[in-house]
Chain A
Amino acid sequence: MTVGEVTVLLGALLAGLGLVRLLTVDGAVERLIALNVTGSGVLLVLVGLSIRGESPDPVPQALALTGIVITVAVTGVGLLLARRAGEDEQ
């Protein structure tokens, strides 16, 4: 199997595992971890599909970088909201 194929397969597996967990769990922290795993999987697929020969395509790499930063912003705000929601219940 080529490097690109392994990456796409790995990414799809991560995305599938993360998605199933994301849809079946209740807690905010667990959901955000699952969301991060799913996102990483999708980005692996994005870059994996473009791996061909010597130099990997820079545009999907840039998009993956953007995706990682956006994911951390979503995670940060999500955790903040989870903290506040949790505190309200006490």
Chain B
Amino acid sequence: MSQTEASPIVWALAAGVLLAAVFSLYAHRRLAGVVGFLVLGALLSAYWGIIGAPDVALAEAAIGTGVTSALLIQTVAVLRGPEAPIPFGRIVLGVVGGASLGLVLGVAMVGTAAEGPGPLLTEDVDANLHATGVTHPVTAVLLNFRSFDTLLEIVVLLAAAGIALGMTGKPTGSGPVRRSGILPGFVQLVSPAVLLLGAWLLVAGSSRPGGAFQSGAVLAATLILLHAAGVRRLTATVVLRVLLSAGLAAFVVVAVGGWVTGEPWLWLRGDAAGGITLALETVLSLSIGTTLALLYLSLTTTEEPGS
């Protein structure tokens, strides 16, 4: 296992994550649970950062916490189910039971890992990094060495988008309702800067933490903010549908491109590899952003299916 001793900050963050998790799981009210989940996500993102996984930290913050919490809050605000607080005894039972299960598994895993470290792929990745055209290992793994996994991930996102499109009804309210107060003005002011940040994350992914998924999530966040503040309504237009499927289409083109040059499919090497990767990431980022925003949009509409 690792040579580095865990510093007090690592311990403090770990304790914070654990407390936030227990709170978000066993909160008395659903909304409190969702807000606890948001706090859990922020602490978890910091934890990912401090153990040396900045790409995961960015993705956890933007996608795992940001977009997920937006979806959860949109649902919780409308759900009318009963909200009986859980008896304290059951909470204790659940926490103790879960913690025991976790502790047993954790200690077993740590013990097994200490006996003999397994193989690491860091050297293999570093050795072949130069051929991929990008200099950041995680991006190279995502879009080159393990691009098959990413391809299937895009298919999953497209499937989710398809389901969301099929269940999106008419938008609630009669038309664009611009909310009063500071929110719309702030959103309008901040959106271009946030979009610029997303574009930067996209390009930065080739050489440092960033990439298509993080930048896609930033795009989704902008679209969700614009819709929620009433500045610009999202609708399931043809442009949206094209953007949703463009990611998969571009990925298939790149995959088949490998065949065309006489190599296995998904093969991406050579001088143009870096440029192709960036172009693919751009299209993927648009698809991911619109998919996540569509998931949010479909939660704001009513039952009857629209066009």
Residues on A lying within 8 angstroms of B by beta carbon are 1-21, 24, 27, 29-30, 32-34, 36-37, 40-41, 43, 45, 47-53, 55-59, 61-66, 68-77, 79-80, 82-84, 86-87, 90
**With A8-B106, A53-B3 as given contacts, are A27 and B98 in contact (CB-CB < 8 Å)?**
no
Residue of B47, B94, B163, B299 near A83 (CB, 8 A) is B299
The residue that A14 contacts in the complex, of B5, B21, B63, B75, with Cβ under 8 A, is: B21
Majority secondary structure of chain B interface residues (helix, strand, loop or mixed): helix
Secondary structure class of chain A's binding surface, majority of residues: helix
Does B281 make an interface contact (CB < 8 A)?
Answer: no
Q: Are A80 and B18 in contact (CB under 8 A)?
A: no
Residue of A nearest to B20 (CB): A37
B242 within 8 Å of A by Cβ? no
* A residues less than 8 Å from B141 (CB atoms): 58-59, 61-62
Q: Which residue from chain A places its CB closest to the CB of B11 in the assembled complex?
A: A6
11 contacts between A and B (CB under 8 A): A4-B2, A6-B10, A8-B109, A10-B106, A17-B21, A37-B25, A40-B64, A45-B106, A58-B137, A65-B59, A80-B298
Taking A45-B106, A80-B298 as given, write out 13 further A-B residue pairs in contact, using a Cβ cutoff of 8 Å, ordered by the A residue number: A4-B2, A10-B17, A16-B101, A20-B94, A30-B33, A53-B3, A57-B122, A58-B125, A62-B55, A72-B295, A75-B68, A77-B295, A82-B75
